[in-house]
């Protein structure tokens, strides 16, 4: 089969590796891909939201299966465009991808179908939002509506921070915020392969959203992760499926927006049970980089089965996969670009998140740049291994957290 991976980040690099490992994959294309993906497949210079050029390429090349990585492509209607052109695509329609692109849409569905989530209010008016925040008090959570790559969320532990976040959201054109009850608990991610009502869970992972050690500083796209999450027992996973993932997939079918693709549940295990922080319409990044290396089943086969409505039983390595993101100086507020990177011999898997090649030199090209991943029998061993391997990556403009996974260690 000719397979096309759409996107250019670390998630897509991990997707490309898993797809290429399948005997079903005879040729892999990545659009636009990145230098790491270029070592696995053929990079094609088409932007991940250029639907017209993508359809033309997929037709011309006779692509048998397209797998979409980023939310921007989904929101641009990439799945709709490919499907209309008769190309098999694993990724939700623009309408179904609203589970992520519109917090309001997701919240309304959760309310209607009784899927547990934080209490919330949406505001289009700055004064009303400020008044609400003042009445509720802190801690409280302020979320800008729309796609913000994980960066439009302020978990405000005091009132001043909350009001500043409201003002910042309304300083932008078309300001609109979702103000949420603060949830306290243990956070984890569960991603499932979904087609209509069929939901096949992958293994759990934990992301680390804050930029600094000890979960300090602003939210980022994610600074590191590991899988599986020991605290999430098979019983909790089962309950997550029954109370969150399966009802959501069924709700989307009932609402006339059936979902096909990776459905991502961002979850909090609270004293009152499991609650949804958010849904995403795609694989998580940096979750993909630690979940997919543990998959021992054929990934292409799994996707095709789900798309045909056939349940699959997936085999996983019992080992723990652990990964640390190397980000550019200044991230998440901004980022430096164009700094040279040298990667010496390493037995870590290195996923490219934001790099480019120029005259044979690898350069930084975004906020999150690389992710180093190792797999060992225990989280403790994998933690030690990944951090050892970071010595082999040399770049003056990269930094990383030193405590990825520490909280979940014995």
Task: Give yes or no for residue 180 binding ligand AMP (CB under 6 A).
Answer: yes
Q: What are phi and psi of 37, to 5 degrees?
A: -65, -30
306 binds, among ligand GLY, ligand AMP, none (CB under 5 to 8 A by kind): none
Among 113, 132, 182, 316, binds ligand AMP (CB under 6 A): 182
Task: Give yes or no for residue 284 binding ligand GLY (CB under 6 A).
Answer: yes
If 0-12 CB within 10 Å is exposed, 13-18 middle and 19+ buried, where does residue 393 land? buried
Among 287, 289, 298, 397, binds ligand GLY (CB under 6 A): 287
Among 278, 285, 289, 397, binds ligand AMP (CB under 6 A): 278
Span from 79-87, 232-240, 281-289, 356-364 in contact with ligand GLY (CB under 6 A): 281-289
List Cα–Cα distances, 238 to 57, 210, 241, in angstroms: 41, 28, 5
Span from 147-155, 233-241, 304-312, 315-323 in contact with ligand AMP (CB under 6 A): 147-155
Task: Give yes or no for residue 280 binding ligand GLY (CB under 6 A).
Answer: yes
Among 67, 162, 183, 395, binds ligand AMP (CB under 6 A): 183
Among 43, 51, 98, 219, binds ligand AMP (CB under 6 A): 219
State how far the Cα of 275 lies from the Cα of 188, in Å rounded to an integer: 11
Name the residue with tokens 């693709």.
261
Q: DSSP letter string over 10-24?
A: HHHHHHHHHHHTSTT
Taking the complex as a whole, how short is the minimal distance between the CB of residue 287 and ligand GLY, in angstroms?
5
The helix (H) or strand (E) run that includes residue 313 is none
Span from 89-97, 177-185, 283-291, 320-328 in contact with ligand GLY (CB under 6 A): 283-291
Answer whether 74's CB lies under 8 Å from 259's CB: no
Nearer to ligand GLY, 91 or 222 (CB): 222
State how far the Cα of 60 lies from the Cα of 164, in Å rounded to an integer: 51
Query: x/- string (CB under 6 A) for ligand AMP, residues 322-361?
Result: ----------------------------------------
**Region 206-265 residues binding ligand GLY, contact defined as CB under 6 A:** 207, 222
Residues 6 or more apart whose Cβ sits within 8 Å of residue 240: 190, 201, 232, 265, 267, 274
DSSP letter assigned to residue 134: H
Query: How many residues form the binding site for ligand GLY (CB under 6 A)?
Result: 8
Phi-psi region of 150 (alpha: psi -120 to 50; beta: other; left: phi over 0): left
Span from 45-53, 280-288, 339-347, 356-364 in contact with ligand GLY (CB under 6 A): 280-288
Task: Give yes or no for residue 281 binding ligand AMP (CB under 6 A).
Answer: no
Nearest to 313 by CA among 327, 296, 330: 296
Cβ atoms within 10 Å, residue 287: 30
**Region 179-208 residues binding ligand GLY, contact defined as CB under 6 A:** 207
DSSP letter assigned to residue 324: E
| 305-330: b (≥16 Cβ within 10 Å) or e | bbbeeeebebeeeebbbbbbbbbbee
Angle between helical axes of 126-136 and 159-170 (0-180°, round to 10): 170
List Cα–Cα distances, 301 to 95, 307, 347, in angstroms: 26, 10, 28
Span from 39-47, 169-177, 277-285, 348-356 in contact with ligand GLY (CB under 6 A): 277-285
Span from 106-114, 129-137, 179-187, 336-344 in contact with ligand AMP (CB under 6 A): 179-187
Taking the complex as a whole, how short is the minimal distance between the CB of residue 80 and ligand GLY, in angstroms?
22
Q: Which residues of the shown chain bind ligand GLY in the complex (CB under 6 A)?
A: 150, 207, 222, 280, 284-287
Q: Which residues of the shown chain bind ligand AMP in the complex (CB under 6 A)?
A: 118, 141, 143, 150, 153, 155, 180-183, 187, 209, 219, 266, 277-278
């Amino acid at each position: 089969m000719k397979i096309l991976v759409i996107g250019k980040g670390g998630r897509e690099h991990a997707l490309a590796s898993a797809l290429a490992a399948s005997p079903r994959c005879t040729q892999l294309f990545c659009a636009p891909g990145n230098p790491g993906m270029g070592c696995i497949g053929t990079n094609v210079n088409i932007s991940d939201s250029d639907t017209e050029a993508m359809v033309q390429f997929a037709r011309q090349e006779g692509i048998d299966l397209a797998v979409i990585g980023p939310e921007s492509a989904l929101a641009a209607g990439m799945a709709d465009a490919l499907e209309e052109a008769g190309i098999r695509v694993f990724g939700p329609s623009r309408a179904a991808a609203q589970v992520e692109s519109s917090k309001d849409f997701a919240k309304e569905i959760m309310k209607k179908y009784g899927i547990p989530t934080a209490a919330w209010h949406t505001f289009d008016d700055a004064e009303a939002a400020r008044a609400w925040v003042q009445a509720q008090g802190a801690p409280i959570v302020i979320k800008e509506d729309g796609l913000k790559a994980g960066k439009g969320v302020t978990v405000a532990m005091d009132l001043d921070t909350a009001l500043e976040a409201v003002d910042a959201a309304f300083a932008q054109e078309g300001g609109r915020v979702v103000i949420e009850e603060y949830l306290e608990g243990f956070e984890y991610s569960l991603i499932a392969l979904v087609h209509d009502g069929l939901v096949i869970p992958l293994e759990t992972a934990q992301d680390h959203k804050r930029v600094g050690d000890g979960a300090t500083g602003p939210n980022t796209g994610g600074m590191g992760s590991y899988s599986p999450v020991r605290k999430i027992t098979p019983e909790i996973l089962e309950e997550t499926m029954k109370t969150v993932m399966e009802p959501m997939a069924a709700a989307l079918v009932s609402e006339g927006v059936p979902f096909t693709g990776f459905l991502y549940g961002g979850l909090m295990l609270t004293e009152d049970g499991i609650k949804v922080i958010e849904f995403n319409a795609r694989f998580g990044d940096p979750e993909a980089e630690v979940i997919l290396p543990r998959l021992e089943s054929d990934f292409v086969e799994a996707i095709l089965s789900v798309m045909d409505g056939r349940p699959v039983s997936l085999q996983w390595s019992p080992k723990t996969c652990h990964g640390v993101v190397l980000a550019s100086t200044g991230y998440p507020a901004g980022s430096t670009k164009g700094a040279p990177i040298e990667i010496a011999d390493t037995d870590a898997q290195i996923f490219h998140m934001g790099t480019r090649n120029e005259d044979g030199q690898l350069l930084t090209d975004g906020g999150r740049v690389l992710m180093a991943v190792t797999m060992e029998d225990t989280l403790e061993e994998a933690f030690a291994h990944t951090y050892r391997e970071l010595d082999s990556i040399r770049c003056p403009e990269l930094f990383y957290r030193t405590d990825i996974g520490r909280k979940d260690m014995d």
